[in-house]
Amino acid sequence: MYSEDDLLPISALQHLLFCERQTALIHIERQWADNRFTAEGNVLHQKADAAKSETRDGIRITRGLQVHSFEIGLYGVCDVVQFQPPELGSNSKSSLAKRIERELERARHPCTDESGARADVAGRINSNPEHASPLPFTNWVITPVEYKRGKPKANDCDRVQLCAQALCLEEMLQVQIPRGDLFYGKEQRRTDVPFDERLRQTTRQTGCRLHELIRSQTTPTAFREKKCDTCSLLSLCMPPTEKQQIASEYIKTMIQQ
Protein backbone atom coordinates (compact mmCIF):
# COMPACT_ATOMS: atom_id res chain seq x y z
CA MET A 1 0.00 0.00 0.00
CA TYR A 2 1.18 3.49 -0.86
CA SER A 3 0.78 6.60 1.28
CA GLU A 4 -0.92 9.78 0.11
CA ASP A 5 2.48 11.39 -0.48
CA ASP A 6 3.46 8.52 -2.82
CA LEU A 7 0.56 8.91 -5.26
CA LEU A 8 1.50 9.60 -8.89
CA PRO A 9 -0.77 10.92 -11.69
CA ILE A 10 -2.72 8.39 -13.74
CA SER A 11 -1.87 10.39 -16.87
CA ALA A 12 1.79 9.39 -16.42
CA LEU A 13 0.89 5.79 -17.31
CA GLN A 14 0.18 6.83 -20.88
CA HIS A 15 3.48 8.74 -21.03
CA LEU A 16 5.31 5.67 -19.73
CA LEU A 17 3.84 3.31 -22.31
CA PHE A 18 4.72 5.79 -25.05
CA CYS A 19 8.30 6.51 -23.89
CA GLU A 20 10.09 6.18 -20.55
CA ARG A 21 12.40 9.08 -21.40
CA GLN A 22 9.42 11.33 -22.08
CA THR A 23 7.97 10.28 -18.72
CA ALA A 24 11.20 11.23 -16.94
CA LEU A 25 11.43 14.58 -18.72
CA ILE A 26 7.88 15.45 -17.65
CA HIS A 27 7.66 13.97 -14.16
CA ILE A 28 11.28 14.13 -12.96
CA GLU A 29 12.81 17.08 -14.82
CA ARG A 30 9.47 18.96 -15.00
CA GLN A 31 9.80 19.85 -18.69
CA TRP A 32 6.85 20.34 -21.01
CA ALA A 33 6.01 21.69 -24.45
CA ASP A 34 2.82 21.65 -26.50
CA ASN A 35 2.35 20.77 -30.15
CA ARG A 36 -0.73 20.39 -32.38
CA PHE A 37 -1.59 16.98 -30.96
CA THR A 38 -1.43 18.03 -27.28
CA ALA A 39 -3.33 21.24 -28.08
CA GLU A 40 -6.15 19.29 -29.76
CA GLY A 41 -6.28 16.94 -26.78
CA ASN A 42 -6.48 19.89 -24.38
CA VAL A 43 -9.38 21.42 -26.31
CA LEU A 44 -11.29 18.12 -26.26
CA HIS A 45 -10.81 17.75 -22.49
CA GLN A 46 -11.77 21.38 -21.87
CA LYS A 47 -15.06 20.81 -23.69
CA ALA A 48 -15.73 17.71 -21.62
CA ASP A 49 -14.82 19.46 -18.35
CA ALA A 50 -16.85 22.57 -19.18
CA ALA A 51 -20.08 20.60 -19.38
CA LYS A 52 -22.01 20.28 -16.13
CA SER A 53 -22.87 17.06 -14.34
CA GLU A 54 -26.43 16.00 -15.07
CA THR A 55 -29.01 13.27 -14.62
CA ARG A 56 -30.31 11.84 -17.90
CA ASP A 57 -32.76 8.92 -18.25
CA GLY A 58 -32.15 7.86 -14.66
CA ILE A 59 -28.34 7.86 -15.05
CA ARG A 60 -26.13 10.36 -13.22
CA ILE A 61 -23.36 11.70 -15.46
CA THR A 62 -20.64 13.05 -13.17
CA ARG A 63 -17.81 15.10 -14.72
CA GLY A 64 -14.32 15.89 -13.41
CA LEU A 65 -14.46 13.30 -10.61
CA GLN A 66 -11.24 13.06 -8.58
CA VAL A 67 -10.14 9.49 -7.85
CA HIS A 68 -7.24 7.73 -6.13
CA SER A 69 -5.94 4.31 -5.16
CA PHE A 70 -3.55 3.55 -2.31
CA GLU A 71 -3.11 0.00 -3.64
CA ILE A 72 -1.64 1.00 -7.00
CA GLY A 73 -0.38 4.42 -5.84
CA LEU A 74 -2.19 6.61 -8.38
CA TYR A 75 -4.53 9.58 -8.48
CA GLY A 76 -6.30 11.50 -11.22
CA VAL A 77 -9.49 13.00 -12.58
CA CYS A 78 -12.10 11.07 -14.58
CA ASP A 79 -13.56 12.99 -17.50
CA VAL A 80 -16.94 11.31 -16.97
CA VAL A 81 -18.28 8.65 -14.61
CA GLN A 82 -21.80 7.32 -15.19
CA PHE A 83 -23.76 6.05 -12.19
CA GLN A 84 -26.78 3.91 -13.00
CA PRO A 85 -28.75 2.69 -9.97
CA PRO A 86 -30.16 -0.87 -9.93
CA GLU A 87 -33.69 0.52 -10.23
CA LEU A 88 -34.84 3.81 -11.70
CA GLY A 89 -37.28 4.24 -8.85
CA SER A 90 -36.07 4.77 -5.30
CA ASN A 91 -37.67 5.15 -1.90
CA SER A 92 -34.98 7.64 -0.97
CA LYS A 93 -36.15 11.24 -0.55
CA SER A 94 -32.76 12.47 -1.79
CA SER A 95 -32.13 13.10 -5.47
CA LEU A 96 -29.83 10.78 -7.37
CA ALA A 97 -27.20 13.53 -7.55
CA LYS A 98 -27.26 14.14 -3.78
CA ARG A 99 -27.11 10.40 -2.97
CA ILE A 100 -24.04 9.95 -5.16
CA GLU A 101 -22.30 13.08 -3.90
CA ARG A 102 -22.86 12.01 -0.27
CA GLU A 103 -21.28 8.61 -0.85
CA LEU A 104 -18.42 10.07 -2.91
CA GLU A 105 -17.65 12.44 -0.05
CA ARG A 106 -17.41 9.46 2.31
CA ALA A 107 -15.06 7.79 -0.17
CA ARG A 108 -12.82 10.87 -0.31
CA HIS A 109 -12.65 11.11 3.49
CA PRO A 110 -12.97 7.56 4.89
CA CYS A 111 -13.34 7.34 8.64
CA THR A 112 -11.05 5.22 10.79
CA ASP A 113 -11.46 3.11 13.91
CA GLU A 114 -9.53 3.60 17.15
CA SER A 115 -6.58 1.59 15.81
CA GLY A 116 -6.37 3.73 12.68
CA ALA A 117 -7.77 1.10 10.32
CA ARG A 118 -9.34 2.61 7.22
CA ALA A 119 -13.10 2.33 6.85
CA ASP A 120 -14.87 2.02 3.53
CA VAL A 121 -17.42 4.37 1.98
CA ALA A 122 -20.26 3.05 4.12
CA GLY A 123 -18.38 3.55 7.38
CA ARG A 124 -17.61 -0.17 7.56
CA ILE A 125 -14.31 -1.04 9.23
CA ASN A 126 -12.35 -3.35 6.93
CA SER A 127 -10.77 -5.11 9.90
CA ASN A 128 -14.26 -5.87 11.25
CA PRO A 129 -16.22 -7.58 8.45
CA GLU A 130 -18.73 -9.00 10.95
CA HIS A 131 -20.04 -5.49 11.53
CA ALA A 132 -20.22 -4.66 7.84
CA SER A 133 -23.09 -2.52 6.62
CA PRO A 134 -24.50 -2.74 3.08
CA LEU A 135 -22.40 -0.90 0.53
CA PRO A 136 -24.15 2.09 -1.09
CA PHE A 137 -23.23 1.22 -4.70
CA THR A 138 -24.01 -2.50 -4.58
CA ASN A 139 -25.58 -3.60 -7.92
CA TRP A 140 -25.06 -0.17 -9.49
CA VAL A 141 -23.58 0.04 -13.00
CA ILE A 142 -20.61 2.44 -12.81
CA THR A 143 -18.87 3.32 -16.07
CA PRO A 144 -15.81 5.58 -16.46
CA VAL A 145 -15.50 7.43 -19.78
CA GLU A 146 -12.25 9.01 -21.01
CA TYR A 147 -12.07 11.51 -23.89
CA LYS A 148 -9.23 11.24 -26.43
CA ARG A 149 -8.34 13.03 -29.63
CA GLY A 150 -7.67 11.03 -32.78
CA LYS A 151 -8.73 7.42 -33.12
CA PRO A 152 -8.21 4.11 -31.25
CA LYS A 153 -4.57 3.09 -30.86
CA ALA A 154 -3.01 -0.30 -31.45
CA ASN A 155 -1.22 -0.30 -28.09
CA ASP A 156 -2.72 -0.30 -24.59
CA CYS A 157 -1.83 3.24 -23.48
CA ASP A 158 -5.41 4.62 -23.58
CA ARG A 159 -6.95 1.42 -22.22
CA VAL A 160 -4.45 1.29 -19.34
CA GLN A 161 -5.27 4.89 -18.36
CA LEU A 162 -9.00 4.10 -18.33
CA CYS A 163 -8.45 0.85 -16.43
CA ALA A 164 -6.44 2.72 -13.77
CA GLN A 165 -9.41 5.03 -13.27
CA ALA A 166 -11.64 1.98 -12.82
CA LEU A 167 -9.25 0.44 -10.26
CA CYS A 168 -9.34 3.69 -8.30
CA LEU A 169 -13.14 3.76 -8.37
CA GLU A 170 -13.32 0.11 -7.32
CA GLU A 171 -11.13 0.79 -4.29
CA MET A 172 -12.92 3.99 -3.31
CA LEU A 173 -16.47 2.69 -3.74
CA GLN A 174 -15.93 -1.01 -2.98
CA VAL A 175 -17.49 -2.11 -6.28
CA GLN A 176 -16.63 -4.15 -9.36
CA ILE A 177 -16.44 -2.26 -12.65
CA PRO A 178 -16.39 -4.65 -15.63
CA ARG A 179 -16.00 -2.13 -18.46
CA GLY A 180 -15.55 1.49 -19.51
CA ASP A 181 -15.63 3.66 -22.64
CA LEU A 182 -13.08 5.66 -24.64
CA PHE A 183 -14.54 8.52 -26.68
CA TYR A 184 -12.34 9.47 -29.66
CA GLY A 185 -12.71 12.95 -31.13
CA LYS A 186 -11.85 11.95 -34.68
CA GLU A 187 -14.46 9.22 -34.84
CA GLN A 188 -16.99 10.94 -32.55
CA ARG A 189 -18.05 7.69 -30.96
CA ARG A 190 -17.27 5.50 -27.98
CA THR A 191 -15.08 2.40 -27.98
CA ASP A 192 -15.95 -0.31 -25.46
CA VAL A 193 -13.09 -1.35 -23.13
CA PRO A 194 -13.60 -4.56 -21.09
CA PHE A 195 -11.49 -4.59 -17.92
CA ASP A 196 -10.32 -8.17 -18.23
CA GLU A 197 -7.58 -9.69 -16.09
CA ARG A 198 -4.92 -9.13 -18.75
CA LEU A 199 -5.59 -5.40 -18.91
CA ARG A 200 -5.81 -5.13 -15.12
CA GLN A 201 -2.44 -6.88 -14.75
CA THR A 202 -0.86 -4.67 -17.42
CA THR A 203 -2.18 -1.60 -15.60
CA ARG A 204 -0.79 -2.71 -12.24
CA GLN A 205 2.59 -3.57 -13.77
CA THR A 206 2.74 -0.21 -15.53
CA GLY A 207 1.96 1.53 -12.24
CA CYS A 208 4.79 -0.37 -10.51
CA ARG A 209 7.22 0.55 -13.29
CA LEU A 210 6.17 4.21 -13.04
CA HIS A 211 6.96 4.26 -9.31
CA GLU A 212 10.32 2.57 -9.95
CA LEU A 213 11.25 5.17 -12.57
CA ILE A 214 10.27 8.14 -10.40
CA ARG A 215 12.11 6.72 -7.38
CA SER A 216 15.26 6.29 -9.46
CA GLN A 217 15.28 10.02 -10.38
CA THR A 218 17.12 8.97 -13.55
CA THR A 219 16.26 10.05 -17.09
CA PRO A 220 16.82 7.24 -19.63
CA THR A 221 19.19 7.82 -22.55
CA ALA A 222 17.69 9.30 -25.72
CA PHE A 223 17.51 7.42 -29.00
CA ARG A 224 15.53 8.35 -32.08
CA GLU A 225 12.48 6.37 -33.21
CA LYS A 226 9.66 6.97 -35.68
CA LYS A 227 7.24 7.84 -32.87
CA CYS A 228 9.49 10.74 -31.84
CA ASP A 229 8.09 12.75 -34.76
CA THR A 230 4.77 13.20 -32.93
CA CYS A 231 6.27 13.95 -29.50
CA SER A 232 5.87 17.53 -28.27
CA LEU A 233 9.11 17.21 -26.29
CA LEU A 234 11.29 16.29 -29.29
CA SER A 235 13.21 19.58 -29.31
CA LEU A 236 13.80 19.31 -25.55
CA CYS A 237 14.66 15.63 -25.65
CA MET A 238 17.03 15.79 -28.63
CA PRO A 239 17.91 19.44 -29.39
CA PRO A 240 19.09 19.98 -32.96
CA THR A 241 22.87 20.38 -33.20
CA GLU A 242 24.25 23.49 -34.85
CA LYS A 243 25.50 22.89 -38.38
CA GLN A 244 29.29 22.86 -38.45
CA GLN A 245 30.80 25.58 -40.63
CA ILE A 246 32.81 24.38 -43.63
CA ALA A 247 36.51 25.32 -43.32
CA SER A 248 36.64 27.08 -46.71
CA GLU A 249 33.65 29.25 -45.76
CA TYR A 250 35.29 30.12 -42.46
CA ILE A 251 38.54 31.18 -44.19
CA LYS A 252 36.63 33.23 -46.79
CA THR A 253 34.74 35.02 -44.02
CA MET A 254 37.96 35.81 -42.14
CA ILE A 255 39.64 37.22 -45.33
CA GLN A 256 36.67 39.47 -46.06
CA GLN A 257 36.91 40.92 -42.59
Instruction: Spell out the residues 6+ positions from residue 28 whose beta carbon is closer than 8 angstroms to its own.
Output: 213, 214, 217, 218, 219
Inter-CA distances, 115 with 4, 112, 127, Å: 19, 8, 10
Domain 4-220 fold is Lambda Exonuclease; Chain A (3.90.320)
pLDDT value, residue 137: 87
pLDDT at 159: 97
In terms of phi and psi (left: phi > 0; alpha: psi -120 to 50; beta: otherwise), the region of 55 is beta
pLDDT tens over the chain, length 257 residues = 899 999 999 999 999 999 998 899 999 988 876 655 555 555 555 655 666 789 888 899 999 999 999 999 999 999 999 999 987 555 555 688 888 888 788 777 655 444 444 544 434 334 344 444 456 888 899 999 999 888 888 889 999 999 999 999 999 999 999 999 999 988 888 999 999 999 999 999 999 999 999 999 999 888 888 888 778 787 778 776 555 455 566 566 656 65
CB 171 within 8 A of CB 156: no
Give the whole-angstrom CA distance, residue 27 versus residue 29: 6
Task: State the pLDDT at residue 122.
Answer: 38
Considering only CA atoms, which of 141, 61, 131, 136 is closest in space to residue 92? 136
Write down the pLDDT at residue 115.
44
On whether the pTM is more than 0.85, the answer is no
Closest CA to 160 of 150, 149, 168, 172: 168
How many alpha carbons fall within 13 Å on the CB side of residue 169?
30
Backbone phi, psi, residue 71, to 5°: -75, -45
Residue 74, strand partner residues: 8, 69
DSSP characters over 209-244? HHHHHHHHT-PPPP---GGGGG-TTHHHHSPPPPPP
Is the distance from CB of 184 to CB of 150 less than 8 angstroms? yes
